[in-house]
Amino acid sequence: MKIGELAALVGVSTRTVRHYHHLGLLPEPPRLSNGYREYRLRDAVILARVRRLAELGLALDEIRDVLADDQGKELREVLLELDADLAAQQEAIRLRRERLATLLTEDDLHPDSAVSPTMASVLRGLPAGGSKFAEFDREMLALVDTTAGPGDREAFAELLRPLTTPEALARGEAIYARLDELAEAAPDDPRVTELAAEIADHLPEEMKTMMLASVGDHPAEATENGRWLAEMSLSLAPAQAEVFHVLMTMLRAKPADHAKEDE
Amino acid sequence: MKIGELAALVGVSTRTVRHYHHLGLLPEPPRLSNGYREYRLRDAVILARVRRLAELGLALDEIRDVLADDQGKELREVLLELDADLAAQQEAIRLRRERLATLLTEDDLHPDSAVSPTMASVLRGLPAGGSKFAEFDREMLALVDTTAGPGDREAFAELLRPLTTPEALARGEAIYARLDELAEAAPDDPRVTELAAEIADHLPEEMKTMMLASVGDHPAEATENGRWLAEMSLSLAPAQAEVFHVLMTMLRAKPADHAKEDE
DNA sequence: CCTTGACCTTGACGCGACGTCAACGTCTGT
DNA sequence: ACAGACGTTGACGTCGCGTCAAGGTCAAGG
Q: How far apart are CA B73 and CA A164, in angstroms?
A: 27
- Which of A40, A57, A110 faces B234 most closely, judged by CB atoms? A40
pLDDT of residue B212: 80
Whether B56 has a pLDDT exceeding 70, the answer reads yes
Q: What residues does A110 pair with on adjacent strands?
A: none
pLDDT of residue B11: 95
Q: How far apart are CA A3 and CA A17, in angstroms?
A: 8
Contact, A237 vs A191, CB < 8 A?
no
Q: How far apart are CA A112 and CA A123, in angstroms?
A: 9
Q: What residues does A31 pair with on adjacent strands?
A: A37
pLDDT of residue B220: 47
Per-residue tens of pLDDT for chain A, all 263 residues = 999 999 999 999 999 999 999 999 999 999 999 999 999 999 999 999 999 999 999 999 999 999 988 776 788 999 999 999 999 999 999 999 999 998 898 877 888 888 888 888 888 877 776 788 988 988 998 999 998 877 888 888 888 888 888 888 888 888 999 999 999 999 999 999 999 999 888 888 888 888 887 766 555 445 666 777 778 888 899 999 999 889 888 888 875 554 444 43
Contact, A75 vs A42, CB < 8 A?
no
A30 contact to strand D (CB, 7 A limit)? no
pLDDT of residue B235: 87
Both B168 and B41 in one domain: the answer is: no
In chain A, how many domains are there? 2
> Whole-number Å distance, CA A143 to C1' D19?
29
Q: Which domain holds residue B64?
A: 3-69
- Full-model pTM: 0.86
Residue B225, classed as helix, strand or coil, is helix
B48 contact to strand D (CB, 7 A limit)? no
Percent above pLDDT 90 for chain B: 44
pLDDT of residue A257: 52
| Nearest-by-CA chain A residue for B139 | A45
Residue B206, classed as helix, strand or coil, is helix
Both B219 and B118 in one domain: the answer is: yes
Max Cα distance, chain A (Å) = 103
> What does the mean pLDDT of chain B come to?
86
pLDDT of residue A117: 82
Q: How far apart are CA A51 and CA A62, in angstroms?
A: 13
Residue B136: closest CA among B182, B185, B202, B201: B182
Both B208 and B115 in one domain: the answer is: yes
pLDDT of residue B262: 47
Q: Give whole-number Cα distances, B240 to A125, B134, B199, B200, in Å.
A: 82, 13, 12, 15
Both A128 and A236 in one domain: the answer is: yes
Amino acid occupying residue B216:
G
Domain boundary among B69, B101, B120: B69
Segment B103-108 shows an average pLDDT of 84
Both A154 and A227 in one domain: the answer is: yes
Cβ-Cβ contacts under 8 Å, B89 against chain A: 93
Cβ-Cβ contacts under 8 Å, A53 against chain B: 111, 114
The terminus-to-terminus CA distance of chain A in angstroms comes to 96
Whether B263 has a pLDDT exceeding 50, the answer reads no
Helix, strand, coil percentages in chain B from 3-state DSSP, rounded to 5: 75, 0, 25
Domain boundary among A44, A69, A94: A69
Q: How far apart are CA B197 and CA B203, in angstroms?
A: 10
Tell if the CB–CB gap between B52 and A235 is shorter than 8 Å.
Answer: no
B39 vs B74, higher pLDDT? B39
pLDDT of residue A126: 78
What length is written for chain B? 263
Does the residue A95 lie in any domain? no
pLDDT of residue B233: 85
- Best interface-test mutation with B: which of A45, A47, A116, A145 has the largest number of B CBs within 10 A? A45
The distance of B261 to chain A (nearest Cα, Å) reads 35
Q: How confident is the model at residue B255 (pLDDT cuts 50, 70, 90)?
A: low
Does the residue A88 lie in any domain? no
Both A215 and A115 in one domain: the answer is: yes
> Whole-number Å distance, CA A35 to C1' D13?
28
Does the residue A169 lie in any domain? yes
The CATH number of residue A39's host domain is: 1.10.1660.10
Q: How far apart are CA A116 and CA A105, in angstroms?
A: 14
Whether B8 has a pLDDT exceeding 90, the answer reads yes
Tell if the CB–CB gap between B93 and A90 is shorter than 8 Å.
Answer: yes
**Torsion angle, alpha carbons of B130, B135, B138, B140, to 10:** -160
Both B63 and B117 in one domain: the answer is: no
CA angle B33, B34, B37 (to 5 degrees): 85
Does the residue B159 lie in any domain? yes
Contact, A100 vs A138, CB < 8 A?
no
Both A51 and A175 in one domain: the answer is: no
> Whole-number Å distance, CA A260 to C1' D22?
65
Both A153 and A60 in one domain: the answer is: no
pLDDT of residue B69: 82
pLDDT of residue A261: 47
Does the residue A97 lie in any domain? no
One-character DSSP codes across B187-199: TT-HHHHHHHHHH
pLDDT of residue A217: 58
Both B60 and B176 in one domain: the answer is: no
Residue B199: closest CA among B214, B187, B211: B211
Does the residue A149 lie in any domain? yes
Domain boundary among A51, A69, A87: A69
Both A48 and A128 in one domain: the answer is: no
Q: How far apart are CA B36 and CA B29, in angstroms?
A: 10
Range with the largest mean pLDDT of B79-88, B118-127, B164-173, B247-256: B79-88
Does the residue B246 lie in any domain? yes
Does the residue A54 lie in any domain? yes
The sign of the CA dihedral A125, A128, A132, A136 is positive
Segment B53-75 shows an average pLDDT of 88
Both B31 and B142 in one domain: the answer is: no
Contacts of B256 (CB under 8 A, 6+ apart): B205
Q: How confident is the model at residue B64 (pLDDT cuts 50, 70, 90)?
A: very high
